[in-house]
Amino acid sequence: MAELSAWNELPIGATVQPAGAPRALTGGWRTGEVPAADVSKCVNCLLCWLYCPDSAITLDGEAFTGFDLDYCKGCGICAEVCPADAIAMVAE
Amino acid sequence: MSDLQLLTGGEAVAHAMRQIDPDVVPVYPITPQTPIIQTFAKFVADGKARTEIVNVESEHSAMSASIGAALAGARTMTATSSQGLALMAEVVYIAASMRAPIVMALGNRALSGPINIHCDHSDSMLIRDSGVIQLFAENAQEAYDLTLIAPRLAEHPDVLLPVLVCQDGFTITHSAEPVALLADEAVPAFVRDYFIPHPALDVSRPTTQGPFAMPDYYFEFRRQQAAAIEAATEAFEEVAAEFAFLTGRPYGVIEEYRLDDAARAIVALGSTAGTVKDVVDELRDAGEAVGLLKITSFRPFPAAAVTRALAGVKTVTVLDRADSPGGAPPLRAEVANALYGSGCELDGAVYGLGGRDLHPADIRAVFAGATSSHIGLRGEPCPV
């Protein structure tokens, strides 16, 4: 790295502002499976959106539309919590 | 303005908390801190404070919840002792590194083992290097006053660190003395509204808090934290001056008691300073040149002020109410560092572990030149 900040140039308590989560494309950590949705079964409860530990569930307003795999680590929580069996984990 | 009441140190701190009216108090009971939170919880139940008390399942959780609350934007206080602080220790370091201005009352109690509930300073010394500020009270009045000063110091823009207000378990927490309380309405004006630069619940300015730091940045963040606690010496003097204007009670990071022209001085923390003052008065009346240096701020340790205060004193004896097996006792190590090269003769003794009393006769013996490495210990002392 070229330019590293000195101690007195850093944010207090390592607080990063603005929040940097969208810049971290955690989908790169994924190994194995990805979620696949059968939208005809989806009841739009948004539990997948609520439980996803990153921001891999995409919405149009409040309607489920699918996945942004840049933020999907393949953990499978969305498939686990889906009450309508609309999400399955499949080989990438 | 002031209202004199007969209160224990624990009750006095609970009154300070009632008057500060913090937003959140996550806490777990432990002797000898329990009277603090018990008395405060009653104030809350009676509607005398609006605080959200979070009854957590352990001290580890108490400090974790305190960090969350303080960084979310809520003024947060807690309290603990001994094993509670030991269990909390992991999270205390994180509170300091995340610069969470939490105020904590500590009823100093010996660490196990053997298990013991009485006073020594081993619990404070366990987190000596955690980066939190530690202020030691001599009596119930000081415990009350330092608790009012603490939020201002913790939230000072140059500081932003947890502050512990330490009072000797039982000796102060459970002993009733007359305490002058401020008028309730004077306290909010003194402590002011809670302010931190980046509250986590400010959704218009999202932040990432507590991120990972690799070898390229960890060292810099540690240095930043050290600079913050170093700034607390000056910040304390600034807040204490304002407090003195309000109450007439001056506080400093140290208190020099009859040190002028003293040939021999004792350095001590906490309630022992009160006993030493009585002996100093008695010996001064008898014409002996003796004095006391009380350390109110153990962290940050005001080394420059200590060096100045002890300049010209021939013999300095440091009394430690904690030991460091295999090394120098903590207060003695600090004073030795401050006096290095000054020409003062320095010795010291460990005393009072696990609540053993230190008597005026013991202090007279120190001033008379007794060289005991362990005061009040039966049998042959180990070398210090």
Q: What is the mean pLDDT of residues B94-100?
A: 97
Work out the minimum CA distance from A78 to partner chain B, whole angstroms. 24
- CA–CA separation, A63 and A46 (whole Å): 8
| Three-class SS state of B165 | strand
Q: Give how far the C-alpha of residue B73 lies from the chain's centroid of Cα atoms, to the nearest Å.
A: 24
Would you state the pLDDT for residue B382? 64
Choose among B166, B304, B138, B165: nearest CA to B233.
B304
Residue B368 and residue B324 in one domain: yes
Residue B53 and residue B102 in one domain: yes
Q: In chain A, what's the furthest Cα-to-Cα distance?
A: 55
Residue type, B299: R
Residue B231 and residue B265 in one domain: no
Could you tell me the pLDDT band of residue B1, with boundaries at 50, 70 and 90? very low
**Digit-coded pLDDT (tens) for A50-63:** 999 999 999 999 99
Q: Is the pLDDT of residue B86 over 80?
A: yes
Q: Give how far the C-alpha of residue B4 lies from the chain's centroid of Cα atoms, to the nearest Å.
A: 23
A12/B209 CB distance under 8 A: no
Could you tell me the pLDDT band of residue A3, with boundaries at 50, 70 and 90? confident
Q: Is the pLDDT of residue B85 over 50?
A: yes
Q: Is the pLDDT of residue B107 over 90?
A: yes
Q: Is residue B380 part of a domain?
A: no
Two tokens at B350?
């460990």
Average pLDDT of chain A is: 91
Two tokens at A33?
């499976």
Q: Is the pLDDT of residue B290 over 90?
A: yes
Would you state the pLDDT for residue B147? 98
Would you state the pLDDT for residue B25? 98
Would you state the pLDDT for residue A1? 47
**Digit-coded pLDDT (tens) for B320-368:** 999 999 999 999 999 999 999 999 999 999 999 999 999 999 999 999 9
Residue B238 and residue B120 in one domain: yes
Lowest mean pLDDT segment, chosen from A23-27, B2-6, B308-312, B313-317: B2-6
Would you state the pLDDT for residue B383? 59
B98/A19 CB distance under 8 A: no
- CA–CA separation, A73 and B172 (whole Å): 55
Residue B127 and residue B11 in one domain: yes
- CA–CA separation, B184 and B363 (whole Å): 39
Would you state the pLDDT for residue B263? 97
Q: What is the mean pLDDT of residues B295-312?
A: 97
Q: Does A23 reach chain B within 8 Å, measured CB to CB?
A: no
Residue B278 and residue B335 in one domain: yes
The reported pTM is 0.91
Mutate to test the interface with A, among B94, B161, B198 (most CBs of A within 10 A): B198
- CA–CA separation, B333 and B313 (whole Å): 18
Across the beta sheet with B133-136, the strand order is: B77-80, B103-108, B163-168, B133-136, B297-299
CB A85 within 8 A of CB A41: yes
Q: Is the pLDDT of residue B381 over 80?
A: no
* Residue span of the structural domain in which B129 resides: 3-246
Q: Does A19 reach chain B within 8 Å, measured CB to CB?
A: yes
Average pLDDT of chain B is: 96
Which chain B residue shows the shortest CA-CA distance from A20? B208
Choose among B152, B236, B154: nearest CA to B192.
B152
A19/B227 CB distance under 8 A: no
Q: Does A91 reach chain B within 8 Å, measured CB to CB?
A: no
Q: Does A20 reach chain B within 8 Å, measured CB to CB?
A: yes
- The strand pair at B315-320 and B345-351 is best described as parallel
CATH number of residue B17's parent domain: 3.40.50.970
Our count of domains for chain B comes to 2
Which chain A residue shows the shortest CA-CA distance from B213? A14
Q: Is residue B227 part of a domain?
A: yes
Domains identified in chain A and CATH numbers:
26-91 (3.30.70.20)
Would you state the pLDDT for residue B357? 96
Q: How many Cβ contacts (< 8 angstroms) between chains A and B?
A: 63
Q: Does A31 reach chain B within 8 Å, measured CB to CB?
A: no
Residue B67: burial class (beta carbons within 10 Å; 0-12, 13-18, 19+): buried
Q: Is the pLDDT of residue B13 over 90?
A: yes
